[in-house]
Chains A and B, each alone.
Chain A
Amino acid sequence: MSKKAKSATKTETIDGLKTAAEGAQLPSVSRIEEHSLLPLTPDANKQTPAVGQRTTRYDARPHLTGQTMYIDDMTFPNMLHMKILRSQHAHAKILSIDVSEAEKMPGVVATLTGREIPVNSYGPSYQDQPVIADDRVRHHGDPVAAVAAETEQLAKDALEKIKVEYEPIPAVFDPLEAMEEGSPKLHGETNVYASKVIKKGDAEQAFKDADLVLEKRFSTQMVEHVPMEPHASIAMWEADGNLKVYSSLGRITLGRADMARTLNMPMSRIRIIATIVGGNFGGKNEITSEPILALLSRKAGRPVKGVYTREDEFMSSTTRHPFIMDYKTGVTKDGRILGRTVRIVCDGGAYCSWSETTLGKGAILSVGPYNIDNIHVEAHAVYTNKTMTGAMRGFGAPQVCFAYESHMDDIAHELGLDPLEFRMMNAFGEESPSPTGQVLESVVVRESLETASERFGWKEWQK
């Protein structure tokens, strides 16, 4: 294009588009229709009467009449059923897997082992988890092979015919032991796979200035989500070569990305249909057996359904992280908190899953909703030979809340202060900075505490 033509176009361009159109080959726009920007919801910025009103849930009637279709209620012509063989060892090398006897059984249509998976690793933060373990199992319950058969019972029976030779290796179950140099390692050189540090002011100096310094260790346990509906999916290949998956998965876009990676195919050719979910609570936030179903379905040329048994659910779905938390807090005699240090060790189990995210949120919230100028938080996620821990309601918040609030009670007791007064004295207010420096707005900690204590008669109870 000649320079002349270009400059001629330029003169017609309206002011706002001048810069963008420079050097562009497309014809420029000389006039733009004015559209007033309507809010997406008509009542935006207006107080609606919805708050405090009772409403009928859209899904109530199908649920209450038993007509809701969860995955296990769906069936497709010619559909097969999948079952997974799981490791009985917490940590072992897999020497060999022999599925030949299982394949000979009548009613068994296809089997799958880890070696057959195009890219045998996945995970929302780090891709450290095999879809099916191929050379090593890292917790009791790691999948080692899968079978698709005409009925669930046949698939279950076929699992008993699969021969797996293991060579057990030392395992580690305690996260503190796992941090030691000589401990058995799960992946690579160290078991510490994520760390977060938050520092503000000088906590050590604050302890020197304090009238009282209190230290205590808190720990929480592993918790399984136990959704009433176990993990369930159905995979099938459509005539155009695209993969279709019905799944109880909560995050379907992430699921498609993980599927594309493990199956080594474009994401655009994978369709995940999210169904009504019978309870998620964070436990259905990443793929589990979906790639297995897809590959078995490709082998068999038939739809394959996989529903976790309750045992599968407990052994091999994610759980809430157990935390070990060391708290140290320095206060003045009259109850002002000068400094706090927190050390967190998060037991991540065998694979990362959402541990990295949980660790970050847990670390940020670990100081509590209190104005403290001197803070030092150090948090680590550690591999152990246990069921992996992942997302669960609150992402680390409940663990640290239990610790800092128990710690607050202990301090109030030591100082001879009313625990409520002690909290009111130190609680966040409007524009308080969070431990990471975020300026907080709409802060109603004190108001909430006041209302709550009135409602349940805190003062009367104190007498």
Chain B
Amino acid sequence: MMIDVKMTVNGQERTASVAPETTLLTFLRDSLVLTGSKLGCDVGDCGACTVIVNGNAVNSCLMLAVQADGKDITTIEGLSDFEHLHPLQAVFEQMSSFQCGFCAPGMIISAKHLLDKNPHPSKGEVQEALSGNLCRCTGYTKIVDAILELTSEEASAA
């Protein structure tokens, strides 16, 4: 049995016919070939698959594609293109916040979700917002610092 799903992904309407057990992550990676979102644990612990669904940060490995039917999805690919970075990506690049990079797409989506809701978070709020995204290389320091640098820059510019 296959089910037709239709959703808006990074501003474009996308459709596909999927098996019922297909997760949103598998739909994005396999049906749409948007491989930026990663599979790290498949049980919602690591956050490498984080995407934004109707304004909420979601572990896409825990959501079925059919549950996302009709919804609005933003993935890492929807944030920027290679030439024009999102301010978060720019500050992460400048501060070399990531190493192996596998957690980066999920981490950036979580950070974007935070700043969308709360443009001037405290350090504690940043740490809280990223608590669902695991990174094994960095120890998180440079990631948190970069976000705070960005928000303080914006604060001083305003």
Contacts and interface: CB of A to CB of B under 8 A. Distances in A.
Interface of A: 54-57, 59-70, 72-73, 153, 225-230, 276-281, 307, 309-310
Most chain B beta-carbon contacts within 10 A, residue among A228, A278, A281: A228
B102 interface: yes
B55 interface: no
Chain B interface mostly: loop
Contact of B96 (A56, A62, A65, A69): A56
Contacts of A69: 35
Given A55-B96, A227-B136, 8 more contacts: A64-B92, A64-B104, A65-B79, A65-B85, A226-B134, A228-B100, A230-B40, A310-B40
B17 to A, nearest CB: 14
B104 A61 contact: no
B82 A279 contact: no
Interface stretch (B1-9, B42-50, B124-132): B42-50
Given A228-B134, A279-B100, A310-B41, A65 B82 contact: yes
B135 interface: yes
B21 interface: yes
B103 interface: yes
Contact of B42 (A73, A153, A279, A310): A310
Interface in B101-158: 101-105, 108, 134-137
Contacts of B108: 64
Nearest to A281: B136
27 contacts: A56-B93, A60-B101, A63-B100, A64-B92, A64-B104, A65-B77, A65-B80, A65-B81, A65-B82, A65-B85, A66-B35, A66-B36, A66-B77, A67-B36, A70-B102, A72-B38, A72-B39, A73-B29, A153-B19, A153-B21, A227-B102, A227-B136, A228-B100, A229-B40, A276-B100, A280-B100, A281-B136
Contact of A66 (B75, B136, B137): B75
A279 B134 CA distance: 12
A182 B83 CA distance: 67
A231 to B, nearest CB: 13
B89 interface: yes
A75 to B, nearest CB: 8
A65 B36 contact: yes
A63 B43 contact: no
A281 B136 CA distance: 9
Given A153-B21, A228-B46, A278 B101 contact: yes
A279 B136 contact: yes
B12 interface: no
> Interface on chain A toward B: helix, strand, loop, or mixed SS?
loop
A88 B75 CA distance: 38
A68 B80 contact: no
B37 interface: yes
Interface residues of B, number: 41
Interface of B: 19, 21, 29, 34-43, 46, 48, 75-77, 79-82, 85, 89, 92-96, 98, 100-105, 108, 134-137
B39 A279 contact: no
Nearest to B109: A66
B80 A54 contact: no
A279 B102 contact: yes
A426 B38 CA distance: 50
A68 B95 CA distance: 19
Nearest to A68: B101
Nearest to A74: B35
Interface centre among A65, A68, A281 (most CB of B within 10 A): A65
Given A229-B40, A310-B42, A310-B43, A61 B82 contact: yes
A67 B100 contact: no
A230 B40 CA distance: 7
A72 B28 CA distance: 13
A225 B42 CA distance: 17
A62 B43 CA distance: 26
Contacts of A66: 34-37, 75-77, 104-105
A69 B38 CA distance: 11
Nearest to A69: B35
A64 B93 contact: yes
A60 B108 CA distance: 13
Nearest to A307: B39
Contacts of A278: 38, 100-102
A280 B43 CA distance: 21
A87 to B, nearest CB: 21
Contacts of A68: 101
B42 A59 contact: no
A59 B101 contact: yes
B57 to A, nearest CB: 16
Nearest to A153: B21
A149 to B, nearest CB: 14
B82 A228 contact: no
Contacts of B35: 66, 69, 72-73
A265 to B, nearest CB: 32
A62 B101 CA distance: 9
A279 to B, nearest CB: 5
A278 B102 CA distance: 5
Most chain B CB within 10 A, of A57, A60, A73, is at A60
Nearest to B103: A228
